[in-house]
Structure 1
Amino acid sequence: MFIGHSELIFVAEFSPDGRTIISCSSDKTIRLWDVNRGEEMKKIQIDFDIAPSTLYVNFSPDGKTVVLCLDDRTIRLWDINSDREIRKLVGHSNSIWCAQFSSDGQKIVSSSNDKTVGIWNVKTGERLKELKGHSYNVKRVGFSPNGQFVVSGSWDGTIRIWDVTTGKELQIIKNEDDVNDVKYFPDGQMIASCSEMVKFVYGIQTQGKKYKN
């Protein structure tokens, strides 16, 4: 059990090496935890102008940088060692729920209540693509293992697959309920999704055939 946050915890994620957990909370802190010892390693106090809460946090593939989704509609890149902001990504017009690095660490994909998915250049902070198609809040997104595709899950009850280079929508999978999370399997051939009480696995090459629940 990891104890430290004083308010609601939004997200907790493992580092790439599995030795550290990072968490974010409405108490406006980000905390790093030692998995083996169960102890807090570091606390980062969010101290931006309007002191927003952090809605999502995750590691870069090398574990040196974290991406933060703040409720001021911005994405921030934060250096863990120096405890400083590296870059600020601006473009979404509503709350941002998720941001994930590509496997090579060169791009970030984000999801928002503005119904869009964003693809960003990590080095420059430029938004490369704005993917439109969902009709309601986009809750979660993620890259395929090879970085060529993006999967998004929305409260419009659909999962969508996109081409990263062209921004084209390639596939729509209709879920039975709002989609709260969605991820690629390591082989890139299947995706897992979850709704409020149900989990599904879909095959990509079989036009979204549902395999399990």
Structure 2
Amino acid sequence: MSDNNYDQCSTYLSLTDLPMEIFLHICSFLDANTLIRNLGLVCKQFYNILKDDSLWKVRINRIWPNACYPVLSPVDENEQFWKLSCLNVERQAFLWSNLDPMDKFALTGGHYGTIDGLLLMNNGKICISGGRDRLLICWQLNATRTIENQQNANIACGFGHTGWIWDITCLGDNTIYSCSWDRTVRAWDLSNNFSSIRTFKMSSHGALLCVAACNERNLVATGSFRRISVFDPRAHDSSVTKFKPHQLAVMKVAINSDYIISASEDKTVAIWDQRMRRTIKTVTISKDSYPMSMFVNNDAIYTGDSNAMIHIININNNFEQIKSYKSDHTKGITGIHSTLGCLITTSLDGTVKISSPTDPPISFATLNCKHGDIASMHYLNETLAVSGSDEIDIWRPKTEN
């Protein structure tokens, strides 16, 4: 073959000269990550083709053909939304559909009672746990690929309170806050051998059942019987405000720069406006059940209740409850977390359900925990931690050797 003929054949083989239908057909065999982070950066022509939202909507619909994605229409739908959504949907489906890409191991030998407080930090490399044995433990999750257990991962352990530890949160990268039956919130320094920094005594009428922190305002909120207490840990007189948005125990609390959101045994979710300094909305999620778990993002409040129902409240529509679904769990939902790619729930029935973040959610993976009732759950950076009677199960993507 002459050089001229060879050059002519080479030109015909260029991807840039393929008809659009053939190019898109080739793209259908490639994952979203390859398209976005590789092919879309090759040239302006490919970038312009792949920035079309309809391409990513079709790909998501092929994964979840019988459901609507997303549950809530995005308020600010920028040009990256559908790309990132498809990237996350495909990634989570890949990780959880058959579990082959995931490592599972247990953190054992630390607690001897139910573990209600659970917190992942440092991109999922550190796990903090607090239990009814009053112990507070810091676990280092090393990078070993196949691990049956990590008893040696316990790097700091001690009695954190004089009563059961119910919940844990953090401010910044190194300060941990734990709340307890003893009606105190204690601060701990992760960078200084997990040493105690300060104890905050709350004038509550019962145990402190939940705690949450807001980095933007440097505030900590904790819930007890009927009451929410908010304090600034930097101040000598740390109390900021106290209010009673509920008639029964506050089970979960979340705080951001605008709102303090709480869920209670009185079957309601209450929204406190930090600027107006009053409760602006109280939503009754059900007549028959109460919220046991809660997750809040920029657009929605997700709650899981004692009858295994999932409820969604739209933050951007005057906090209206817009969706309620019956989950595949058989008992109350003790943990809930929503991402662009999946919805994760844990339950007293001892299972973890991985579902699509769609309307309605479709369960596509079930994880069984051998320690029985699941008390708590936390998810961070594709690492899932689930706690029960005396151990913690960890799922995370396998690392390459």
Q: What TM-score comes out, normalization by structure 2 length?
A: 0.48
Structure 2 counterpart of 1:2: 107
- Residues 4-23 of structure 1: CA deviation (Å, up to 9, x unaligned): 21211112121152221111
Aligned amino acid, residue 164 of structure 2: S
In the alignment, structure 2 segments of 5+ residues that lack a partner are 1-105, 326-401
- Residues 125-148 of structure 1: CA deviation (Å, up to 9, x unaligned): 61111121201001110013xx11
CA apart distance, 1:25: 1.1
Aligned amino acid, residue 141 of structure 1: V
Q: Distance in 2 between matches of 1:191 and 1:96?
A: 22
Structure 1 counterpart of 2:223: 111
Structure showing the higher helix proportion among its residues: 2
Q: Of the two structures, which has the highest relative contact order with CA contacts closer than 8 Å and spacing of 6 or more?
A: 2
Q: Distance in 1 between matches of 2:316 and 2:169?
A: 29
Structure showing the higher strand proportion among its residues: 1
1:72 to 182, 185, 189: 182
Structure 1 counterpart of 2:255: 143
2:277 to 167, 191, 198: 167
Question: What SS does structure 2 have at the residue aligned with 1:211?
Answer: strand
Aligned amino acid, residue 14 of structure 1: L
Q: Distance in 1 between matches of 2:139 and 2:160?
A: 21
- Residues 128-179 of structure 1: CA deviation (Å, up to 9, x unaligned): 11121201001110013xx111110000000011112342101111111211
Structure 1 counterpart of 2:166: 55
CA apart distance, 1:66: 0.7
Aligned residues: 205
**Greater Rg by CA:** 2
Q: Does 1:90 align with 2:201?
A: yes
Question: What SS does structure 1 have at the residue aligned with 2:112?
Answer: coil
Structure 2 counterpart of 1:99: 211
- Residues 17-64 of structure 1: CA deviation (Å, up to 9, x unaligned): 22211111122211222334563232321166xx3232212222x220
Root-mean-square deviation (CA), in Å?
Answer: 1.9
2:321 to 204, 209, 213: 209
Q: Does 1:178 align with 2:262?
A: no
Structure 1 counterpart of 2:154: 41
**How high is the sequence identity, in percent, across the aligned residues?**
16
CA apart distance, 1:105: 6.2
Q: Distance in 1 between matches of 2:156 and 2:261?
A: 32
